[in-house]
Each structure stands twice: as structure tokens, then as C-alpha cells.
Structure 1
Amino acid sequence: MEFILILLLVVVIAVGVWGLTAYNGFIKERNLIQESWRQVDVELNRRYELIPNLVETVRGYAAHERNTLEGVVRLRAQAQQIAAHEGGAAPSEARAEAEEQLSSAVRGLMVSVEAYPELKSNQNFLELQRALAETEDRIAAGRRYYNANVRNYNTRTESVPTNLIANAFHFEKATYFEVNDPEVRRAPDVSFGEIAYRGDEPQQPGQIPPAAAPQLPNPQQAPQIPQQQGYQPPSYGQPPQAPQQQGYQPPSYGQPPQQ
């Protein structure tokens, strides 16, 4: 009887220790999510501060982009209003959607100013463009870190047996800060057909043609041995005749030499 009581006591203590560890783990991961979101929120607020200066600079050189400028200003005010309402807490779906629309509008504004060379050479605009590019890079890096922490936290809230602690103490799933803009997710298109060589295309003047491909031998065709001209095999049926020397007369030993 005492053994059973001791065993039950050990089981209760083990379950209590596990529950306390799981609870502290949820608290730690939730605080990590909030901390990682603050880093993203700081960069988003920095972008709010840069956009008005960018709009005023573009307006001085590109008055025809009135609709684009008004859209950027409107989306900035909308995103800033949602951020003030949430008070720096983890982002909601409305905040993520507003920030996504604002990012798309700013990219569209940067594309439209390509038609204004004077604006592209303006020092103030170049500085704002560089600052915005750095801010967007920090936002993207912070978003990846935040979403990684959210994934770990949500996995624990749905996994067994930690989901028992999550349900008992009301640890709800966190919201991802995702980007659903197809222009951001789309990979750059690379057409290999444009760089491939086509033999039927006309050659441009001054263009060096590519080297011709070497002709491989045909294994079905036997190689031809060239015949040597002017060569006659010797006839073994007749003895060879010594060549006669022209202009040579043997001396006569029966007659004395003439004086």
C-alpha cells in the first residue's frame, strides 16, 4: 500500500514538473514573439517617417504622378492608424494587409519615377531611396525571424501533449506577418531561348559566328586507305637486272697504251 502511494506521489510530482516546464516554455516563446515583432514595428515606423519626404520630393519633379502619390499617402495613413490602434502588439491580419498594400504602392512609385531623369539625379531623392531600400531589407529580415518564432509557438500549441497546457491556460495561436503580393513572391523570369544560338537566324554585321561543331566519325562507314600512285610491286619470277652505266668503256689489256 505504501509502495502504491509513493508511486502515485512520484507520478503526480512528475506531471506537475512537466506541466510547469511546458507553461514556462509557452511564456518564453510568447515573449520572444513580442520581442521579435517590436523589431519589425520599429522599421515600419521608420518607413512611415520616410514616406512624406519621399512624396514631397517626387511631387516637385513629377507632378503628373498625382494619383500614385495620393495612393501612397492614403495607404500610409491607414497603416499608421491601425498600428496606433493595436498599440505595438503582435500584428493582426488587418495590419499585415495594410502594410502589404503600402509596400506595393511604394514599389509602384519607385517604378514610375524611372521616367524622370532629373528626379533620379536629385541628391535628396537618392538619399531617400537608399534609406527606404535599407528599411525594406530590415523589414524583410525581421519578418522572417518573427514568422519563425510564430511557427515554433503554434506548433507547440497544436502538438500533443503540450496542447493540453495551451488549452488550459488559453495560449492562443499567433498570427503570421505574411506577404501575399504575387510581385514579391514571383521569381525573376529567365528566358534561355533568348541567349541560345539559332542557326537559322541572320548574322548581324560585325558579329562573330560561333565555332562550328566538329563532325564525329560514322562507325558504319569503313575508313578508306589512300592508294599510293607510282608504286609497282616487284616481280619475283625474273631476276632483277642491274642498271647499265652509260659512258663507261672497260680498258683493253692486250694493246699498249697510245702515246
Structure 2
Amino acid sequence: MAAISPRMAAMAAVIVMAPAVGACGYNTIPTEKVNAEAKWADVQSQYQRRADLIPNLVSTVQGAAIQERTTLTNVIEARAKATSVTVNADDPASFERYQAAQGELTGALSRLMMTVEAYPQLQSNQNFIALQSQLEGTENRIAVARRDYNEAVRAYNTTLQTFPNIIWAKTLHSGSKPMQLFTATAEAQNAPSVNFDSLNPAAQPGGSAPAVTPGAAPAAAPATGN
């Protein structure tokens, strides 16, 4: 009877052990990590969709000549910051920066939407209405994507810390790191406040400035003598 070569013996051992290895959870860690990474890609996709809508929104609002220019500037700057952050879901520092930047953009958009409520011409602008609807839909998709991602990450992180998978996490899958969870930002805990005094001349010191119709150009400042 011919002797079995070491190579064939090793292959036979792998074939025999494969079901046992699979049954004891060896494949669980990479499977759950791939799932969590897919959910992470969904989150980033929805945030990118929101970022892509903002330039048209800003352009539309600018066309209405609103007086609250600061809110527009804040949105533009927050978008630039949010889209410039390089993030890795298993890097706590970069993930925290990413979440903070996206939270700032969410707050800036919320304040802008509250501000434009004072401008009837925007509320009837079909382009603005369509953009507002798309943004609202995107915010809902972001919320769902973040929830699904957190659920997948909790499952994956739990797998890394519980028996029997922790054995693989400390040996053959030792390079697997816990992924970060999205948490509610400080801004999300409070409704944004908007000061409409700049749209109401009567509320300014003196209270005698001429009224300004939302969307109209502000009155020229009186000339001052030397």
C-alpha cells in the first residue's frame, strides 16, 4: 500500500476539520465584520447623498436674497468640513471627528430650514420644495442606516468578546478590532435656536428702522457726515 504524502495528509486533515471549525464559530467573526462594513458603507452613502444636495439648496436660498447670510455660510462651511474628514470605522479618533462633523452639518441645515420659514417666496418655490423633500427623505435614510449599522456593530463587537469566538479573536483573527458606534450628539439633544431679530427691524435698538420685506434688498444705510 502506497504511503500517504505529508501534503495529502495535511489536505485530508483540513477537509476533516473544516466542518468542526465552522461549527465552533471560526467564520462568525469575518462574516459579522463584512456585514458591519456593508452597513457602514450604507451610512457613508446616505451622508454623501445629503452633501450632494446641499449646493443646489444653497444656490436656491441665495436666489431668494434672504437677509440671514450667516446661516448659509455655516451650512457651506459645515459641508466642507464634513466631506473632508477621512474616517475608518475601527479608528475611534477619526470616527469621532466624522460624527462630530456630520453633527455640525445637521445642526447648520436645521437652523437654515428654520430661518427660511420667514420667507414665503421660498416656501412656494418648487425647486426649494423638491430639495427640502429630498433632504428630509435623506435624513430619514441616514437615521435608518445609522440604526442598522449600530445593530450590526453591536453583534460584531459582542462576537469578539464572547466565548467561543473570543478564542479566534485572540488567535487567528487577532487583527480584528471593535468598530465604533454612532451616538447621539449634543446638538441632537436640543432643538436649534434661531434669532429672527435681524429680520424684524422693530426689535433692533431704537426700533424705528423701516420694515424689510423678506427677500427684498435691505435699505441702504444713511450717509454719515465727516
TM beyond 0.5: yes
Q: 1:25 aligns with which of 28, 48, 55?
A: 28
Conserved in 1, the CA contact under 8 Å of 2:89 and 2:179? no
- Distance in 2 (CA, whole Å) between partners of 1:99 and 1:52 is 16
Match of residue 243 from structure 1: none
Matched, 1:50 2:56: no
- Corresponding position of 1:61: 64
Partners of 2:88 and 2:95 within 8 A in 1 = no
Are residue 72 (structure 1) and residue 56 (structure 2) matched?
Answer: no
Counterpart residue number, 1:192: none
Deviations 1:167-205 (A, max 9, x none): 22222111112332454588xxxxxxxxxxxxxxxxxxx
Partner of 2:115 in structure 1? 112
What letter corresponds to residue 169 of structure 2 in structure 1? A
TM-score normalized by the length of structure 2: 0.68
Q: For residues 78 and 133 of structure 1, what CA distance do their matches in structure 2 show?
A: 21
Distance (Å, rounded) in 2 between the aligned partners of 1:89 and 1:160: 22
C-alpha separation in 2, matches of 1:19 and 1:173: 22
Question: How many residues align structurally?
Answer: 172
The residue that corresponds to 2:177 in the other structure is 172
Task: Please report how far the alpha carbon of residue 20 of structure 1 lies from its aligned counterpart in structure 2 after TM superposition.
Answer: 7.3
Q: Which runs of 5+ in 1 are unaligned?
A: 1-12, 187-259
Residue ranges of structure 2 left out of the alignment (5+ in a row): 1-15, 192-226
Q: Which residue of 1 aligns with 2:141?
A: 138
Among 142, 151, 155, the alignment partner of 1:152 is: 155
RMSD: 2.7
Larger radius of gyration: 1
Matched, 1:40 2:43: yes
Q: Which has the higher contact order (CA 8 A, sep 6+)?
A: 2
- The TM-score, its normalising length taken from structure 1, stands at 0.60
Using a 3 Å threshold, how does the CA distance of structure 1 residues 53 and 37 change in structure 2: closer, same or farther? Answer: same
Residue pair 1:62, 1:116 contacting (<8 A) in 2 also: no
| Contact 2:160-2:166 at 8 Å conserved across structures | yes
Q: Are 2:89 and 2:180, in contact at CA under 8 Å, matched by a contact in 1?
A: no
Confirm or deny that 1:93 pairs with 2:96. Answer: yes
Q: Secondary structure at the match of 2:177?
A: coil
Runs of 4+ in 1 over 6 A off after TM superposition: 87-91
